[in-house]
Amino acid sequence: MMYDVDLTDAAASLKTPTLLLHARGDQLVPWAAGRHLAGVIPGAQFVSFAGSSVAPWAHQGVLIPEIHRFLGQPARPGQAPAGISPREADVLRLIAAGMSNRQISEELKISAHTADRHVSNILTKIGAANRAEAASFAVRHGLAH
């Protein structure tokens, strides 16, 4: 069941800091509607993430650090964000350094299959669509320079 609700006037009158988190593939609220709403709220910050889940805990690797950033509590440099294992943090640093999966496997002395698995798991956990988004995530969270 879909409802047509216009929150523009109410949103424009908000006076509290607002962080709007939105799944790019959300089937209930289109991305453009979420972006528009964030644009109407004075000073709002809009963060979109990969996926279609309306269950935010499924994307905690992306959302928790964004919430900390919004609250002025950035993750400590080099500390793996929630949901990322220490080994995945190592792999993420190497992705950000521009290494291929083969180079990562050689650097960490793991099999190519294990490197592939780590990269796939990381992309899923942080909601990244590709290696460039993963590298950006690593930089934003102090895992890369």
Q: What is the pLDDT of residues 11-36, one digit of tens each?
A: 899 888 898 888 888 888 888 888 89
CATH of residue 92: 1.10.10.10
Domain-embedded: residue 58 = yes
pLDDT beyond 60 at 140: yes
Q: Contact at 8 Å (CB) between 129 and 48?
A: no
Domain-embedded: residue 29 = yes
Domain-embedded: residue 30 = yes
The domain boundary, picked from 8, 42, 70, lies at 70
**pTM of the complete model beyond 0.85:** no
Helix (H) or strand (E) holding 64: helix 60-70
- The pLDDT mean for the chain works out to 83
What would the mean pLDDT of 51-73 be, rounded to a whole number?
A: 68
Residue 66: HSE in the Cβ half-sphere, 13 Å Cα cutoff? 21
Q: How many domains does one find in the chain? A: 2
- Measured between alpha carbons, how far is 23 from 17 in angstroms, rounded to an integer? 20
pLDDT of 1: 53
pLDDT beyond 80 at 68: no
Coil/strand/helix, residue 49 = strand
> Do 66 and 91 share a domain, yes or no?
no
Domain-embedded: residue 100 = yes
> Do 57 and 92 share a domain, yes or no?
no
Which percentage of the chain shows pLDDT scores above 70?
Answer: 83
Per-residue pLDDT band for 91 (boundaries 50, 70, 90) equals: very high
Expressed as residue numbers, the domain containing 91 is 86-140
Domain-embedded: residue 145 = no
pLDDT of 25: 82
